[in-house]
Protein backbone atom coordinates (compact mmCIF):
# COMPACT_ATOMS: atom_id res chain seq x y z
CA UNK A 1 0.00 0.00 0.00
CA UNK A 2 1.72 3.18 -1.18
CA UNK A 3 0.16 6.19 0.42
CA UNK A 4 0.66 9.85 -0.42
CA UNK A 5 -0.38 12.48 2.12
CA UNK A 6 -0.72 16.12 1.10
CA UNK A 7 -0.07 18.58 3.90
CA UNK A 8 0.21 22.31 4.58
CA UNK A 9 1.99 24.50 7.09
CA UNK A 10 -0.47 27.02 8.56
CA UNK A 11 -0.39 29.86 11.10
CA UNK A 12 -2.15 29.19 14.39
CA UNK A 13 -4.63 32.04 14.78
CA UNK A 14 -7.27 30.90 17.31
CA UNK A 15 -5.62 32.69 20.22
CA UNK A 16 -3.54 35.28 18.35
CA UNK A 17 -4.11 38.98 17.79
CA UNK A 18 -4.40 39.47 14.05
CA UNK A 19 -3.31 42.50 12.03
CA UNK A 20 -3.75 43.23 8.35
CA UNK A 21 -0.79 43.96 6.02
CA UNK A 22 -0.57 47.44 4.49
CA UNK A 23 -1.54 46.24 1.03
CA UNK A 24 -4.67 44.72 2.56
CA UNK A 25 -4.05 41.37 0.87
CA UNK A 26 -3.22 39.23 3.87
CA UNK A 27 -2.81 39.19 7.62
CA UNK A 28 0.59 39.94 9.16
CA UNK A 29 2.29 36.66 9.84
CA UNK A 30 5.69 37.39 11.35
CA UNK A 31 4.44 37.20 14.97
CA UNK A 32 2.42 34.01 14.44
CA UNK A 33 3.31 30.45 15.35
CA UNK A 34 3.09 28.00 12.44
CA UNK A 35 2.39 24.29 12.57
CA UNK A 36 1.09 21.36 10.57
CA UNK A 37 -2.58 21.92 9.69
CA UNK A 38 -4.69 20.08 12.27
CA UNK A 39 -6.69 18.07 9.70
CA UNK A 40 -3.46 17.05 7.96
CA UNK A 41 -1.92 15.77 11.14
CA UNK A 42 -4.82 13.31 11.47
CA UNK A 43 -4.28 12.37 7.80
CA UNK A 44 -0.57 11.66 8.33
CA UNK A 45 -1.30 9.57 11.42
CA UNK A 46 -3.96 7.64 9.50
CA UNK A 47 -1.55 6.97 6.62
CA UNK A 48 1.03 5.62 9.07
CA UNK A 49 -1.59 3.41 10.77
CA UNK A 50 -2.67 2.01 7.40
CA UNK A 51 0.95 1.34 6.50
CA UNK A 52 1.47 -0.48 9.80
CA UNK A 53 -1.55 -2.67 9.07
CA UNK A 54 -1.06 -3.39 5.37
CA UNK A 55 2.62 -2.60 4.67
CA UNK A 56 3.92 -0.14 2.08
CA UNK A 57 5.28 3.35 2.17
CA UNK A 58 4.08 6.81 3.14
CA UNK A 59 5.18 9.90 1.30
CA UNK A 60 4.32 13.40 2.52
CA UNK A 61 4.04 16.21 -0.04
CA UNK A 62 3.56 19.92 0.40
CA UNK A 63 3.41 22.90 -1.92
CA UNK A 64 4.89 25.69 0.13
CA UNK A 65 7.74 28.04 0.94
CA UNK A 66 11.11 26.92 2.29
CA UNK A 67 9.81 27.04 5.88
CA UNK A 68 7.38 24.26 5.06
CA UNK A 69 10.21 21.81 5.48
CA UNK A 70 9.62 21.95 9.22
CA UNK A 71 6.15 20.42 8.86
CA UNK A 72 7.56 17.79 6.49
CA UNK A 73 10.12 16.89 9.17
CA UNK A 74 7.20 16.57 11.56
CA UNK A 75 5.47 14.17 9.10
CA UNK A 76 8.66 12.10 8.88
CA UNK A 77 8.88 12.01 12.68
CA UNK A 78 5.25 10.84 12.76
CA UNK A 79 6.25 7.87 10.61
CA UNK A 80 6.21 8.98 6.97
CA UNK A 81 9.07 7.47 4.96
CA UNK A 82 9.79 10.19 2.44
CA UNK A 83 8.93 13.84 1.95
CA UNK A 84 8.76 16.24 -0.95
CA UNK A 85 8.46 20.00 -0.97
CA UNK A 86 7.27 21.66 -4.15
CA UNK A 87 8.04 25.33 -4.62
CA UNK A 88 5.06 27.62 -4.04
CA UNK A 89 3.87 29.74 -6.97
CA UNK A 90 3.76 33.53 -6.42
CA UNK A 91 -0.04 33.58 -6.55
CA UNK A 92 -2.32 30.63 -6.32
CA UNK A 93 -5.78 29.40 -5.57
CA UNK A 94 -6.98 26.00 -4.42
CA UNK A 95 -7.26 24.68 -7.97
CA UNK A 96 -3.72 25.65 -8.92
CA UNK A 97 -2.37 23.86 -5.85
CA UNK A 98 -4.37 20.77 -6.85
CA UNK A 99 -2.98 20.98 -10.40
CA UNK A 100 0.61 21.20 -9.18
CA UNK A 101 0.07 18.24 -6.86
CA UNK A 102 -1.52 16.27 -9.70
CA UNK A 103 1.47 16.93 -11.95
CA UNK A 104 3.87 15.53 -9.34
CA UNK A 105 1.71 12.62 -8.23
CA UNK A 106 1.08 11.39 -11.78
CA UNK A 107 4.66 10.11 -11.88
CA UNK A 108 4.45 8.24 -8.56
CA UNK A 109 3.11 4.79 -7.79
CA UNK A 110 0.26 5.07 -5.26
CA UNK A 111 -2.79 3.22 -3.99
CA UNK A 112 -4.15 5.86 -1.70
CA UNK A 113 -3.98 9.62 -1.32
CA UNK A 114 -4.99 11.30 1.92
CA UNK A 115 -5.46 15.01 2.56
CA UNK A 116 -7.10 16.93 5.38
CA UNK A 117 -10.76 17.93 4.92
CA UNK A 118 -9.65 21.57 4.86
CA UNK A 119 -6.99 23.91 6.20
CA UNK A 120 -7.26 26.02 9.32
CA UNK A 121 -6.25 29.19 7.47
CA UNK A 122 -8.37 29.81 4.37
CA UNK A 123 -10.47 26.67 4.58
CA UNK A 124 -11.44 26.19 0.93
CA UNK A 125 -11.83 22.45 1.46
CA UNK A 126 -11.24 22.14 -2.25
CA UNK A 127 -7.73 20.81 -2.92
CA UNK A 128 -8.34 17.15 -2.08
CA UNK A 129 -11.50 16.53 -4.09
CA UNK A 130 -10.19 18.61 -7.05
CA UNK A 131 -6.99 16.55 -7.03
CA UNK A 132 -8.98 13.31 -7.22
CA UNK A 133 -10.86 14.59 -10.28
CA UNK A 134 -7.63 15.73 -11.95
CA UNK A 135 -6.12 12.27 -11.40
CA UNK A 136 -9.31 10.53 -12.50
CA UNK A 137 -9.69 8.54 -9.30
CA UNK A 138 -12.71 8.20 -6.98
CA UNK A 139 -12.81 10.09 -3.70
CA UNK A 140 -14.68 10.47 -0.45
CA UNK A 141 -14.60 13.56 1.74
CA UNK A 142 -14.96 14.09 5.51
CA UNK A 143 -13.84 10.52 6.19
CA UNK A 144 -13.62 9.28 9.77
CA UNK A 145 -12.88 5.56 9.28
CA UNK A 146 -10.99 3.55 6.65
CA UNK A 147 -10.80 -0.22 6.23
CA UNK A 148 -9.11 -1.83 3.28
CA UNK A 149 -9.85 -5.20 1.73
CA UNK A 150 -9.27 -6.67 -1.74
CA UNK A 151 -8.40 -3.47 -3.51
CA UNK A 152 -11.36 -1.66 -2.04
CA UNK A 153 -11.80 0.66 0.89
CA UNK A 154 -14.80 0.79 3.16
CA UNK A 155 -14.98 4.29 4.46
CA UNK A 156 -17.29 6.14 6.79
CA UNK A 157 -18.17 9.70 5.89
CA UNK A 158 -19.37 12.12 8.49
CA UNK A 159 -22.68 13.77 7.58
CA UNK A 160 -24.65 16.22 9.68
CA UNK A 161 -26.18 15.81 13.14
CA UNK A 162 -24.16 12.74 14.15
CA UNK A 163 -25.31 10.72 11.13
CA UNK A 164 -22.67 8.89 9.06
CA UNK A 165 -22.67 6.94 5.82
CA UNK A 166 -20.74 3.87 4.82
CA UNK A 167 -19.27 3.79 1.31
CA UNK A 168 -17.25 1.31 -0.68
CA UNK A 169 -14.60 2.92 -2.87
CA UNK A 170 -12.33 1.17 -5.31
CA UNK A 171 -8.59 1.88 -5.02
CA UNK A 172 -6.63 3.86 -6.04
CA UNK A 173 -8.67 6.56 -4.34
CA UNK A 174 -8.40 9.81 -2.46
CA UNK A 175 -9.93 10.50 0.95
CA UNK A 176 -10.11 13.79 2.82
CA UNK A 177 -9.63 13.09 6.49
CA UNK A 178 -11.74 14.46 9.33
CA UNK A 179 -10.31 15.26 12.76
CA UNK A 180 -10.88 12.57 15.38
CA UNK A 181 -10.39 9.65 12.95
CA UNK A 182 -7.54 8.36 15.12
CA UNK A 183 -5.69 9.15 18.30
CA UNK A 184 -2.74 11.42 17.76
CA UNK A 185 0.51 9.87 18.93
CA UNK A 186 3.13 11.66 20.94
CA UNK A 187 6.17 12.36 18.74
CA UNK A 188 9.35 11.54 20.64
CA UNK A 189 12.65 13.35 20.39
CA UNK A 190 14.19 10.12 19.09
CA UNK A 191 11.64 10.09 16.27
CA UNK A 192 12.49 13.70 15.40
CA UNK A 193 16.20 12.88 15.29
CA UNK A 194 15.47 9.86 13.12
CA UNK A 195 13.40 12.03 10.80
CA UNK A 196 16.46 14.13 10.04
CA UNK A 197 17.97 11.05 8.39
CA UNK A 198 15.03 10.34 6.10
CA UNK A 199 14.72 11.44 2.48
CA UNK A 200 13.46 14.98 1.92
CA UNK A 201 13.47 16.23 -1.66
CA UNK A 202 12.65 19.62 -3.06
CA UNK A 203 11.49 20.49 -6.53
CA UNK A 204 11.09 23.83 -8.29
CA UNK A 205 8.11 24.73 -10.46
CA UNK A 206 10.25 25.15 -13.55
CA UNK A 207 11.57 21.63 -13.18
CA UNK A 208 7.95 20.51 -13.26
CA UNK A 209 7.39 22.37 -16.48
CA UNK A 210 5.41 25.31 -15.08
CA UNK A 211 6.78 28.26 -16.96
CA UNK A 212 4.10 30.91 -16.89
CA UNK A 213 1.27 30.71 -14.44
CA UNK A 214 -2.22 30.25 -15.75
CA UNK A 215 -4.92 32.70 -14.71
CA UNK A 216 -6.60 31.85 -11.45
CA UNK A 217 -10.22 30.91 -10.87
CA UNK A 218 -10.32 32.86 -7.65
CA UNK A 219 -8.28 35.98 -6.95
CA UNK A 220 -8.03 37.47 -3.49
CA UNK A 221 -8.76 41.20 -3.67
CA UNK A 222 -8.38 42.03 0.00
CA UNK A 223 -8.95 40.88 3.54
CA UNK A 224 -10.77 42.78 6.27
CA UNK A 225 -12.01 42.40 9.81
CA UNK A 226 -15.64 41.29 9.91
CA UNK A 227 -17.95 44.26 10.56
CA UNK A 228 -18.66 44.62 14.29
CA UNK A 229 -22.39 43.89 13.99
CA UNK A 230 -24.15 42.60 17.05
CA UNK A 231 -21.73 42.22 19.96
CA UNK A 232 -22.07 40.65 23.37
CA UNK A 233 -22.34 42.96 26.36
CA UNK A 234 -18.87 42.61 27.90
CA UNK A 235 -18.88 42.36 31.69
CA UNK A 236 -16.30 44.65 33.27
CA UNK A 237 -14.56 44.89 36.61
CA UNK A 238 -12.41 42.73 38.87
CA UNK A 239 -12.91 38.96 38.57
CA UNK A 240 -15.04 39.10 41.75
CA UNK A 241 -17.23 41.87 40.34
CA UNK A 242 -17.56 40.07 37.05
CA UNK A 243 -18.57 36.85 38.76
CA UNK A 244 -21.16 38.73 40.85
CA UNK A 245 -22.71 40.20 37.72
CA UNK A 246 -22.59 36.83 36.01
CA UNK A 247 -24.30 35.12 38.92
CA UNK A 248 -27.12 37.68 38.80
CA UNK A 249 -27.53 37.12 35.07
CA UNK A 250 -27.65 33.36 35.53
CA UNK A 251 -30.22 33.65 38.34
CA UNK A 252 -32.44 35.89 36.25
CA UNK A 253 -32.22 33.89 33.02
CA UNK A 254 -32.69 30.55 34.74
CA UNK A 255 -36.25 31.60 35.52
Partner 1 sequence: MTEIFVLVEHRQGKIREVTYELLGWGERWIGQQEGRLTALLLGYGVKELAEELSMRAPRVLVVEDERLKDFNSIYYQRVLSSLLSRYQPLLLLMGHTAYGMELAPSLSVELDLPLATDCIDLSFEGRQLKALRSIYGGKINAHVTLKESKTYMITLRPGIFPPKMPEEKKGTIVIEPSPIQETTERKRFLEYIEAPLTGEDISQAEILVSVGQGIGGPEHLPMFEELAKSLGGMISCSRPVVDRNWLPKERQVGISGKTVKPKIYIAVGISGAFQHVTAIKGSDTIIAINKDPRAPIFGVADYGIVDDFQNVIPLLKEKVKGMK
Q: Candidates 128, 148, 175, 195: give the one binding partner 1 (CB under 8 A).
A: 128
In 3D space, the residue among 131, 106, 93, 123 whose CA is nearest the CA of residue 6 turns out to be 131
Q: Which does 33 bind (CB under 5 to 8 A by kind): partner 1, ligand FAD, none?
A: none
Which helix (DSSP H) or strand (DSSP E) does residue 104 occupy? Answer: helix 94-105
Q: Does 117 bind ligand FAD (CB under 6 A)?
A: yes
Q: Which does 251 bind (CB under 5 to 8 A by kind): ligand FAD, partner 1, none?
A: partner 1
Residue whose CB is less far from partner 1, 32 or 208: 32
Residue whose CB is less far from ligand FAD, 38 or 202: 38
> Nearest approach, Cβ of 99 to partner 1 (angstroms)?
9
Helix (H, G, I), strand (E, B) or coil at 35: strand
Among positions 40-69, residues that touch partner 1 (CB under 8 A) are 42
Q: Does 153 bind ligand FAD (CB under 6 A)?
A: no
Task: State the CB neighbour count (10 A cutoff) for residue 153.
Answer: 23
DSSP assigned state of 197: T
Q: Candidates 40, 46, 87, 120: give the one binding partner 1 (CB under 8 A).
A: 120
Q: In Å, what is the CA distance from 141 to each residue of 29, 136, 169, 248?
A: 30, 15, 12, 46
Alpha carbons 52 and 252: distance in angstroms, whole number? 56
Site string for partner 1, 198-217 (x = CB under 8 A): -----------------xxx
Residue whose CB is less far from ligand FAD, 159 or 166: 159
Q: Does 14 bind ligand FAD (CB under 6 A)?
A: yes
Query: Nearest 5°: phi and psi at 252?
Result: -65, -45
DSSP assigned state of 20: B
How many residues touch ligand FAD under the rule CB under 6 A: the total is: 5
Q: Does 81 bind partner 1 (CB under 8 A)?
A: no
Q: Which does 55 bind (CB under 5 to 8 A by kind): ligand FAD, partner 1, none?
A: none
Beta bridge partners of 35: 10
E strand map for 64-108: 82-86
Helix (H, G, I), strand (E, B) or coil at 19: coil
Q: Does 190 bind ligand FAD (CB under 6 A)?
A: no
Q: List Cβ neighbours of 136 (8 Å cut-off, separation of 6 or more).
A: none
Q: Does 239 bind partner 1 (CB under 8 A)?
A: yes
Q: Does 62 bind ligand FAD (CB under 6 A)?
A: no
Q: Which stretches of the chain bind ligand FAD, using CB under 6 A?
A: 14-15, 117-118, 142
Amino acid sequence: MNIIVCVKRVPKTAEADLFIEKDGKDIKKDHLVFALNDWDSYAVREAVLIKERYGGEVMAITVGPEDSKEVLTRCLAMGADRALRIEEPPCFDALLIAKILARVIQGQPFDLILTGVQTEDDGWGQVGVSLAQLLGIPHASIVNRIEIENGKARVKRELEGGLEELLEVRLPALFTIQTGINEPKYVSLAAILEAEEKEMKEVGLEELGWTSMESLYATLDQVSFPPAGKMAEILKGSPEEIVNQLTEIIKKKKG
